[in-house]
Amino acid sequence: MPALSTNKISFVSSGTPQSTAAKAELIAKYGDYPPVEADVIVALGGDGFMLETLHTVMDRQIPVYGMNFGSVGFMMNDFDIEGLTQRLERAEPTQIHPLRMTATTKQGETHTALALNEVSLLRKSYQAAKIEILVDGKTRIDELICDGVLVATPAGSTAYNLSAQGPILPIEAPLLALTPISPFRPRRWRGAILSNRAEVTFRIREIDKRPVNAVADSLEIVDVLEVQISESRTHVVTLLFDPGHSLDERILNEQFDY
């Protein structure tokens, strides 16, 4: 990746009082450009706001440097008003390819969406979902009875995937995590690690009795009949981290956090 230009910085905030005040301070000190004219975007908020910001710049490939005003701040750097230009110049880039979801509903509609963390299928009612799982067109589980199932990127493997007891994946690994959510049958199946070139298809059984929704990051599609998921190699986002605090290092730390 070529050296990062920091001549034009655009500041965006999640809108909380703290992030809004910080944005005003930073603009007074460093200036501000519209996002469409910027060399780099500085996002002030939490991990959820970072995901929103990355989705808005995905087609323009503008790098994003986050400063944490949320709770966990896994994708963010520490806030400090001083030395921002130097921090941006020294920042280490991490590139992430999103998942592409193509969902067909029981009404026959087709929806596409991109997900940087995960695509998850979730039961819509009190009834457990029944889902057939195919990998590259071959049925691997005829019927998973569960609360849901998800496919996560390495970047998303420490989010919902980890809470569902899925594996943590190194950020540069060419892998995807396929993880069930509260599986009932097969009782002992705990998921799979797949190549990032795999295509996963979920087919919903008994859709009227056991409706299922699909969620790509924060975009939800209701009453899905079939969902296809694969990594999009034509889309990429770039996150910037202070040296020694890269996303790869944070994912590694998660595996030794007991």
| Cα 168 from Cα 256, distance rounded (Å) | 11
Residue 103 token pair: 């969902």
Q: Which of 32, 39, 47, 242 is catalytic?
A: 47
Q: Angle at the Cα of 152 (from 215 to 39), degrees rounded to 5?
A: 90
3-state secondary structure of 114: strand
Helix (H) / strand (E) containing 56: helix 47-57
32 part of the active site: no
| Strand-strand pairing, 40-45 and 9-13 | parallel
Residue 128: Cβ-neighbour burial (10 angstroms; 0-12, 13-18, 19+): middle
DSSP state of 12: E
CA of residue 14 relative to chain centroid, distance? 17
Active site residues per annotation: 47
